[in-house]
Amino acid sequence: MIATDEGTPFATLSPDLIVDAVEAAGFPSDWRVLALGSYENRVYQVGLEDAEPVVVKFYRPGRWTDAAIAEEHAFARELAAAEIPVVAPLEPQASEALGDGPVPVFGEFRFAIYPRRGGQWPELGTPDDRQWIGRFLGRIHLVGASRGFEHRARLAPAVTGRESVAYLLEEELVADYIEHRYQQVTGELLELVEARFEAVGPLRYLRIHGDCHRNNVLWTAAGPHFVDLDDCMMGPAIQDLWMLLAGQAAEQREQLADIIEGYSQFANFEPAEASLIEPLRALRMIHYAAWLARRWHDPAFPRAFPWFGEPRYWERHVAELEEQLMVLEQS
């Protein structure tokens, strides 16, 4: 029986179960287990006998179907086969104890095992570095455009924005004294976001990384490699570019130009999509608060985000949304 995302979803995920799952997949462990920073899923480095450690990810129960996870794994392996530096899951060396579905299951948990890869989060401080990462993103999207996902999410303002707002209001999670301001600013923001998407016209949706911020890119002397395709989806190309940008508006424009220069060596970029950066930023801001709220029953979240839900949090969040509204109105 697969665990559910109710109560404490990872309560039964013990060190013994972690090691047993890795060994059931055919990787003899030396019992060294190190928890890595992850909240949506649980991710551990596990030492192996006479081999480099591996990284094992246990999926949050109830979030994805077997078919959706299988598409994530297939996309990663497809990219790796095209010699794109993406960390793809290893094939189990034994499968008798892992269920008969498309995704390995041990105990109550779906999981995947990955090779360990080192590196640092990129600074992207030079045009060469930005063009370099742009070239790899172009190659990812060239592969991603060859066919679509059938079982994974599709980026849409109504899903990302309006459902997030509705959840927070229905659960009465926004501080009472600021709820009216929250409703007003999110309503105006989402109207502008949807209008901007409509103004751009029909978007070209393709398979994308979906959560391509700098924490999901590791940099070595050999260049960048991409990790964590847990949020891969159908979406426009710009979704994988804008979260790599940092700094003031002028700096971000310069960074984006460099990334697109590298990107365009392998894939076509539609310039009109650049106008979706601020709408996408607004959607992420709205969605992030709802994500924290939906996960609050998981003990890892109150420990990691103790400030969430306090009056000062809502004051700051609403103020940031109001600032983002001004940015959208002026852009």
pTM, two decimal places: 0.94
- Which of 115, 146, 175 is the C-terminal boundary of a domain? 115
pLDDT by position in tens, the chain (length 331): 445 455 678 999 999 999 999 999 999 999 999 999 888 999 999 999 989 999 999 999 999 999 999 999 999 999 999 999 999 999 998 777 788 889 999 989 999 999 999 888 888 889 999 999 999 999 999 999 999 999 999 999 878 899 999 999 999 999 999 999 999 999 999 999 999 999 998 999 999 999 999 999 999 888 889 999 999 999 999 999 999 999 999 999 999 999 999 999 999 999 999 999 999 999 999 999 999 999 999 999 999 999 998 999 999 999 999 999 999 999 8
- Which of 82, 115, 148 is the C-terminal boundary of a domain? 115
In a domain, 120, yes or no: no
**Among residues 5, 50, 211, 258, which one is catalytic?**
211
- Cα dist. 147→31, 143, 234 in Å? 41, 8, 10
Rama region for 125: left / alpha / beta (φ>0; ψ in -120 to 50; rest): alpha
In this structure, the answer to whether residues 69 and 186 fall within a common structural domain is: no
Q: What CATH number did the domain enclosing 230 receive?
A: 1.10.510.10
In this structure, the answer to whether residues 265 and 151 fall within a common structural domain is: yes
The yes-or-no answer on residue 228 being catalytic is: yes
The yes-or-no answer on residue 298 being catalytic is: no
Range of the domain at 271: 127-330
Beta bridge partners of 223: 220
CA–CA separation, 278 and 193 (whole Å): 8
Give how many domains the chain has, as a whole number.
2
**Among residues 5, 66, 228, 230, which one is catalytic?**
228
DSSP letter string over 55-119? Answer: EEEEPPTTTS-HHHHHHHHHHHHHHHHTT--B-PPPPPS--TTS-SSSS-EETTEEEEEEE----
Q: What CATH number did the domain enclosing 29 receive?
A: 3.30.200.20
